[in-house]
Amino acid sequence: MGLYFGTDGLRGVVNSDLTFDIAYKCGNALSVLKTNPTVLIGSDTRISNSYLTLAVASGAMSGGAAVTDLGVIPTAGVAYLTKLLHADYGVVISASHNPKEYNGIKIFDSNGYKLGDKEEERVERCFIHNKTNDFPNIGTFSQNFNLIKKYEEFLINASPNKLTGLTVVLDGANGASYKIAPDVFRKLGADVVASNCSCDGMKINDNCGALYPSTLAKRMARYKADMGFAFDGDADRLISVDDKGKIIDGDMTIYMLAKYMKEKGTLSGNTVVGTSHTNMAIEAGLKANGIDLIRTDIGDKYVLAKLIERKLSLGGEQSGHIILKNMHTTGDGILTAIAVANMLIEKKAKISELFDIRLYPQTNLNIIVEDKLKIMNSELITKEITRLQTSLGEKGRIMVRASGTEPKIRIMVESGDEETNIKYSEEIAGIVKNVDGEV
């Protein structure tokens, strides 16, 4: 990660952490890295999106870029169109699952892949000097909101079956999937109940979507649906709810899809990629079914890098970022939901019947801090983690990490005993707060 870019692009509170000037420099950097590039820009529904879209576009055009604004579109849609249309860069203006006051910038290359750490560092180095072309060698700006239809066609064609007979509840988080997800599922034949599917950027991720699946669970009971799918603000995450109201996270989805894909012969290498956060029970369950798990650092770009390196087809994160590598270049919540729905159709089963293992309890705490670097370099915290991990032995795990997108320290304790998890996580949280408060 660089100075500005985190685990999933550049992100912060608008006009505080993420300013017009930074967005301008980010766009301008693309014209430094490539001469007169073609740049696609898409966004979610946040009210700051036009502001930041124009900032990125202005910076890129100043250096000679040809910019096309795609309008409101999921992150995966920008990645797909960037590759399909042979654009040099695809830019997404979105803060994903974060609240409305946040926004962010993600960049895809011409092949539809997120820029890696080294490429993001190259972008940041270009922030030092602006490239400003003399007239008439300035760039151009256009809008084409109909290009999203090509992405919609891709999603529909990705489903080998009609979904007739399935009743699904879709929670769009009032974000980028608000229109396209219901449209796609209806065109595939499903009965759709659309929830939180408005274009109201002041309500994005507000007690809805992938971060609040309990909201979806309540609607599932009301409509007696077969499946519920909750997306985040830019629709690259999927958290589901089964027919009995149980929440299905990314780990659980990967486990079920891995078994399903192995049966179909489409699971490359009989191996999946997870992260250091992937539940220990998932790893054991996969192994019992002849499937290996490779762990990476947290961040879907690290999962993708391993998928590419090992030529694998499935990977993702507990948070709901799931990459179907043989179908797309990035995490796509809508595409994953379609894959899950097809699994139900082909296996003629309820989702509650397909998840057959018991997860290890995990306690996750997020502590807002002033100085993430000081926390992560604290010898006191390191000693405490070592002491507690020694106590758990091989029967549990402790993870403490700095969020790549927010001013938070994330603490995870996993073992077979939930009371121990809570106790240990709170002990670590107390030390984190004390160290952060030291002058």
**Among the listed ranges 32-41, 159-168, 335-344, 369-378, which one has the minimum average pLDDT value?**
369-378
Task: Give residue 220's region: left, alpha or beta (phi > 0; psi -120 to 50).
Answer: alpha
Residues 346 and 376 in one domain: no
43 is catalytic: no
Distances (CA, A) of 268 to 115, 258, 263: 24, 10, 12
State pTM to two decimals: 0.90
Domain count for the chain, please give it: 3
Query: What's the pLDDT at 394?
Result: 84
CATH number of the CATH domain containing 241: 3.40.120.10
Q: What mean pLDDT comes out for the span 61-65? A: 97
Calculated CA dihedral for residues 44, 49, 53, 55, nearest 10 degrees? -150
Residues 206 and 291 in one domain: yes
- Domain containing residue 130: 5-150
- DSSP code of 144? -
Helix or strand (DSSP H, E) at 251: helix 250-264
- Examine the pLDDT at 356 and tell me if it is beyond 90: no
Written as one letter, the residue type at 32 is V
DSSP secondary structure of 2-50: -SSEEBTEEEEEBTTTB-HHHHHHHHHHHHHHSSS-EEEEEE-S-TTHH
Single out the residue in 100, 123, 150 at which a domain terminates. Answer: 150
Residues 217 and 325 in one domain: yes
Query: What's the pLDDT at 403?
Result: 83
Single out the residue in 150, 184, 218 at which a domain terminates. Answer: 150
Query: What's the pLDDT at 224?
Result: 86
Query: What's the pLDDT at 199?
Result: 95
Q: Is there a contact between 6 and 405 (Cβ–Cβ < 8 Å)?
A: yes
Q: What mean pLDDT comes out for the span 270-282? A: 95
The residue annotated as part of the active site, out of 96, 159, 313, 415, is: 96
Query: What's the pLDDT at 405?
Result: 72
Residues 63 and 122 in one domain: yes
Cα dihedral sign, 139-143-149-152: positive
Residues 242 and 276 in one domain: yes
Residues 375 and 349 in one domain: no
What is the percent of the chain with per-residue pLDDT over 90, rounded to a whole number? 81
CATH number of the CATH domain containing 373: 3.30.310.50
The total number of residues written for the chain in this structure: 439
Residues 281 and 369 in one domain: no
Residues 341 and 300 in one domain: yes
Query: What's the pLDDT at 439?
Result: 45
Rounded-to-integer distance, Cα 373 and Cα 369, Å:
10
Nearest alpha carbon to residue 89 among 133, 34, 129, 20: 34
Residues 97 and 166 in one domain: no
- Examine the pLDDT at 8 and tell me if it is beyond 90: no
Which residue has 């993702």 as its token pair?
Answer: 316
Q: What mean pLDDT comes out for the span 119-146? A: 92
What is the percent of the chain with per-residue pLDDT over 70, rounded to a whole number? 98
Query: What's the pLDDT at 10?
Result: 85
For 230-248, the pLDDT digits (tens) are: 999 999 999 999 999 999 9
Single out the residue in 150, 174, 209 at which a domain terminates. Answer: 150
Residues 55 and 119 in one domain: yes
Rounded-to-integer distance, Cα 291 and Cα 266, Å:
12
Calculate the average pLDDT of the chain. Answer: 93
Nearest alpha carbon to residue 120 among 141, 149, 91: 91
Residues 332 and 407 in one domain: no
- Examine the pLDDT at 216 and tell me if it is beyond 50: yes
For 156-202, the pLDDT digits (tens) are: 999 999 999 999 999 999 999 999 999 999 999 999 999 999 999 99
Residues 97 and 187 in one domain: no
